[in-house]
Amino acid sequence: MPLYSDSFNNDPSNGYTPNSQIVGLDSFANSLEKLFFAEATILNCMNKDNKTNLSIELNCNITLVEMLFHFNKGTWGNFKPGRTSFIKLLNKLVKTSGFSVDIEEFTFFLKDTAIIVNKIYDNSIVEQLDHIIAEICEHYVHFSKGLTETPYEIYVPVFEEESNEENEILIRNIEADNNTKKDYFQYWGLYFESEDDAVIYDLKSSTIEYGDLFMLNH
């Protein structure tokens, strides 16, 4: 089952820079730090349509189990519509900056793992991040091999491929934003210390599959 992840590498060659030229970006970062009890790093660039794309990295001094525990209790993050919610913070940034802003990649660096969520359509991360974390809660027992091993990297999502020809078609579809929210909840890529290569987690069957993982860099 060959797969690849629409993974994004944040380096200068991709046009992303750690700067605060966007009015309100520093305040946005500070609010994220309070919301998620983390240190935030935000990289940004302007695309050809004058839309600002952000890459957000949050360093959280907690383990994955601790994160899920506090998320379920409602004491970590806030995704409900309200004064300090994640969506409200981004809307405030858009209003303050005067730019159209979207999130290209959102990464949580925890004490024992990294969770990398990639954009698959406009505003997909803003709309689906809370649901993705809820699914991590739901599937943790299964993808941690019965609570015996936590993956050190979790990529959301990865896509199933059947042949090189179909692979090329899917790459074009992703670039054209033809994906939907269900694509976040089909396959994830996992890296374990006990495995030489990445493995694929099938959310529908709650099983770990073995196959090739092809990483697509923008």
92-102 pLDDT tens trace: 999 998 888 99
- Of the ranges 45-54, 136-145, 151-160, 196-205, which is most confident? 136-145
Distance of alpha carbon 99 from alpha carbon 117, whole angstroms: 23
Beta strand spans in 150-191 (E):
153-156, 158-160, 187-191
Average pLDDT over the chain, rounded to whole?
82
**Confidence at residue 193, expressed as pLDDT on a 0 to 100 scale:** 95
Whether 166 has a pLDDT exceeding 60, the answer reads no
- Name the residue with higher pLDDT: 211 or 65: 65
Residue 58's pLDDT band, with cuts at 50, 70 and 90, is: very high
Give 147's DSSP letter.
T
* Residues 67 and 109 sit within 8 Å (Cβ to Cβ): no
- Name the residue with higher pLDDT: 113 or 164: 113
Average pLDDT over residues 132-150: 96
The residues pairing with 62 across neighbouring beta strands, listed in sequence order, are none
Dig out the tokens for 24 from the structure: 């309100």
| Cα-Cα end-to-end distance for the chain | 23
Cα 127 to its chain centre, rounded Å, is: 12
**Confidence at residue 76, expressed as pLDDT on a 0 to 100 scale:** 85
Beta-carbon neighbour count of residue 71 at 10 Å?
Answer: 17
Distances (CA, A) of 83 to 32, 80, 123, 134, 175: 13, 9, 19, 22, 33
**Confidence at residue 143, expressed as pLDDT on a 0 to 100 scale:** 97
Q: Which domain holds residue 38?
A: 3-215
In the chain, the number of structural domains is 1
